[in-house]
Amino acid sequence: MRSFAVIGLGEFGASIASYIEEEGGEVIAIEIDPEKVRNYENEFTSVVEADATDIEALRDLGISDVDAAIVSIGTNMGASILITLLLKELKVPLIIVKAMNQLHGKVLKKVGANSIVFPEKDMAKNIAWRLMWPDYKELELAPGLCMIEISAPKSFINKNLGLLELRKNYDANIIAIKKKVPYITEDQQTDYKEKTIAPPNADTSIDEGDTLILVCPQDKVEKFKNMT
């Protein structure tokens, strides 16, 4: 299960924590205001009253082990900058921080934030969804029809498209496959470059590490999401 720290339970922080848990993620919510802690103590996996500008408090909460941290602490720019620095020091792999303005965002980038958001409430669900499903992308082509990009599911590996019969079994068509192709660099090291096969044919085999781009009805999207 993917786990996330949400620091600050204002409107944005509470919304993103809620959407993460709706998608099946685990949230540790950190808030310094005891009233907000009481308001949300039964809402998320874990709600803790703590000062996130204290690195020892973050260590005690196991923040180093989360997949990502989202910093959303209202109008205190100095605190958000310090917390970002501490999360970077604790080697949190993905740090997303709410910025109050462009200058604030630039500073946050410089001190280690991976992503800056200037959020409205309707952005929270989108960010939470991207965190939960990092290898999955979706584009609505028309009402009821989507193009999605996913990492090749394990059940597809070492099988060709003809054998998979995607149109019959999944009501889907693969329109392109991105493959990592090895090559030898000038200093005789092995590296990889991306090769796109579009359109693939029935004999095209799916290898580990491939990315599939396919078109399917909207009602089949959940099935593919659960396979990645």
The pLDDT of residue 72 is 93
Average pLDDT over residues 178-205: 83
* Average pLDDT over the chain, rounded to an integer: 85
Q: pLDDT value at position 42? A: 87
Provide the CA 153 distance to its chain's centre, in angstroms. Answer: 18
pTM (2 d.p.):
0.58
pLDDT digits (tens, 9 = 90+) for 30-85: 999 999 999 998 888 899 999 999 999 999 999 999 999 999 986 889 999 999 99
Output the pLDDT for position 28: 95
Region 131-135 average pLDDT? 61
Q: Which one has a higher pLDDT value, 198 or 136?
A: 198
Rounded mean pLDDT, 22-34: 92
- The pLDDT tens digits for 202-213 are 999 999 889 888
141 has pLDDT over 70: no
For domain 3-132, the CATH class is alpha beta
Q: Where are the domains of the chain?
A: 3-132, 136-225
pLDDT band at 121 (very low <50, low <70, confident <90, very high): very low
Fold for domain 136-225? Alpha-Beta Plaits (3.30.70)
Q: Summarize pLDDT for 2-12 with one digit per residue, the tens.
A: 899 999 999 88
